[in-house]
Structure 1
Amino acid sequence: MSTVTAPAPARPATKTSLSFAHLLRSEWIKFWTVRSAAWSLSIFFVVTVALIALMSLAVVSSGPNDGPPGPDDVLAPYTVAAQLGQVALVVLAALAITGEYTTGMIRSSLTAAPRRTPVIWAKFIVLAVVFFVVAIVANALGALLQQLFFSDDLPLDLGDPQILRALFGTALYTTTIALLSFALGALVRHSAAAIATVLGALLVLPLLFQIPWKPLQEMQPFLPGIAGSNITQTDAQVEAGWETFPPGVAHLTAWEGYAVLAAYLVVVLVAALVRLKKSDA
């Protein structure tokens, strides 16, 4: 007589969704395993520190002004360094997300996190922390070199809250611009388009909006690069910059200008999250 074996009961499929802490750790490891990340950060760091030192030398070599050096002279090297060094971070931030769409790795990430949006948030947080810390350290090293060699000509008063805010704001501005590139990359999913759009908004749009047509001129203070860069200056510098705009144009303070830049970031990031939820990767 043959024995009939009862079939084993079916077990419910177990979900393998990762916690947000695991996603953060995964994105942290993933970021540092990409060789271009270390290279781009190194380029940004070296360019920033070198430009601060070289611009400080240029300011000192240009000869004395009508009076003692002011915040314009002391902070000018940091502003120039941020404007040029940010290109490396813009490229890296865009590639951090568009590269996954190109290789198809994003599908694995979304499979591990079915809710999808936590993947973008984890990447966003990792990039924000890395970029801000690197920018702060680069500014700090630049300030150290500036004071070692040019302290008599360009005294950096770290006890002045305006100076501290400008130095902090330079790192904040650079980080936010890079995150805008990341958000745009997540939205369009194409590295060249994201990078070209951000750099165009920073470098080309300000020139176009100088055309003597009132509607364009009224929008000029609200361009992301112009508005956001207010946070890299003291209040006196911001107010002096108002004089370069035509009469009747809005005057944004340092934090108001940064709020405009942050609003651009929020809008693009929300659009990217909505697209991620509603369309296939």
Structure 2
Amino acid sequence: MTAAATARRADPLAGAHVTFGRVLGSEWIKFTSLRSTVWTIAVTLVVMVGFALLMAWGMSFANEAPAGAEAPPMPDGAMLGLAAVTTSYGLAQIVMAVWGVLVISGEYSTGQIRSTLTAVPTRLPVLAAKGLLMALASFIVGALGVALSVLATAPILSSNDMALDLGDSATQQVLIGVPLYLTGITLLALGIGALVRHSAGGIAVVLGLIIVLPILTTIPLDFIDTIAPYFPSAAGERIVMGEMTGAVLTPWQGYGVFMIYVVAALAAAGVLLRRRDA
């Protein structure tokens, strides 16, 4: 009896089970202890708000007139104001893509992934926990960036007849579309980072998909024009662009196509995570 009690004291983890909650808690500690997390959030917010202010300031000159002349009417000022607030997602997605890759590739580069997978031999909960944390973090950061951009640009937009109509359903869809798109980009980057397992390589692949691949649309070939709306970033950006005349996909259809890429990347990452050595 004494020996058994001693054994229990010697092994404080005796009887402990690996649950998803514990894996999530472990990933949360790693997530919040990384300096890159703080820097990424800060850079994303600065980029989104700063670029929105720059766009709003630049658009305000479009409504100015020479001295003594009447200012020309701003065509659809509310939509121009909405564009000024939301176009910063194009820069923010680059930061989010790098963040998504580094969250997983960083563990491979330091060798910490071996300890993580030893503690969680089923492996898939690790990827699921990282995905859940990154989805929540990227959506919150994106939503906060949009909210701060709306507040920061309000004085400029209001004084130039470009104030947002926040009660309009189309405006609401575009504003919520920005964090949704950034969340998808982050998860896509996480999946690719888990597949490539190398920071530089993973970042190159993700940026190639969202920046380089759309350049192919400039090639005057019919089949490229046909498939271009289904490219990852082109489809995902439909949720940010809103309803457009002549668009192949509606905003939600485009986002659905985009999420197919995201799910495929994460599923492939999960399969290889189980099969490959750390």
TM-score, normalization: structure 1? 0.87
| 2: CA distance, partners of 1:197 / 1:78 | 28
Over 3 Å counting, the alpha-carbon distance change for 1:189 and 1:230 in structure 2 is same
CA distance in 2, matches of 1:72, 1:149: 14
Cα drift, residue 233 of structure 1: 2.3
Matches within 5 A, 1:179-218: 179-218=187-226
Alignment RMSD: 2.1
What's the % identity of the aligned pairs? 40
From 117, 131, 140, give the equivalent of 1:110: 117
Q: CA–CA distance in 1 between the matches of 2:33 and 2:192?
A: 23
Q: Please identify, of 40-49 and 70-79, the stretch whose mean Cα deviation from structure 2 is larger.
A: 70-79
After TM superposition, give the deviation of residue 18 of structure 1 in Å.
2.1
Alpha-carbon offset, residue 72 of structure 1: 3.3
Q: For the residues of structure 2 that align with 1:88 and 1:60, how far apart are their CA atoms?
A: 28
- Give the Cα–Cα distance (whole angstroms) in 1 for the partners of residues 217 and 74 of structure 2: 34
- TM alignment of 1:100-249, pairs within 5 A: 100-152=107-159, 153-235=161-243, 238-239=244-245, 242=247
Do the aligned partners of 1:17 and 1:114 also contact (CA within 8 Å) in 2?
A: no
2 CA distance for matches of 1:67 and 1:34?
46
What is the rounded CA distance, in whole Å, between the counterparts of 1:276 and 1:15 in structure 2? 27
What amino acid does structure 1 have at the position aligned with 2:157?
F
Specify the alignment match of 2:274 in structure 1. 277
- Measured in 1, the distance between the counterparts of 2:173 and 2:121 equals 41
Q: Contact 1:17 / 1:113 at 8 angstroms: preserved in 2?
A: no
User: Which amino acid counterpart does residue 168 of structure 2 have in structure 1?
Assistant: D
Give the aligned partner of residue 256 of structure 2. Answer: 259
Equivalent pairs, count: 262
C-alpha deviation, 1:63, in angstroms: 2.4
Contact residue 95 and residue 191 of structure 1 kept, 8 A: yes
TM-score by length of 2: 0.88
For 1:4, the equivalent position in structure 2 comes to none
Distance 1:217 1:233 in 2: 18
Answer whether contact 1:201 1:225 (CA < 8 A) is retained: yes
Deviations, residues 18-37 of structure 1 (Å, cap 9, x unaligned)? 21111111111111111111
Q: Deviations over 1:103-142 (max 9, x none)?
A: 1111111122121100000000001111110110111011
State the distance in 1 between where 2:193 and 2:185 align. 12
Alpha carbons 2:196, 2:202 under 8 Å: kept: yes
Q: After superposition, give the CA deviation of every residue in 1:160-181 in whole Å (9 maximum; x if it has no partner).
A: 1110110000111011111101
- Superposed displacement of residue 219, structure 1: 0.8
SS of the residue aligned with 2:237?
A: helix
Deviates more, 1:264-273 or 1:105-114: 105-114
Cα deviation digits, residues 179-218 of structure 1 (max 9, x gap): 1011100111111111111111111111123211111221
Match of 2:69 in 1: none
1:62 is paired with a residue of what secondary structure?
A: helix
> Secondary structure of the residue that 1:212 maps to in structure 2?
coil
Structure 2 unaligned runs (5+)? 65-71
| Alpha-carbon contact 1:94-1:185 (below 8 Å) kept | yes
3-state SS of the aligned residue for 1:209? helix
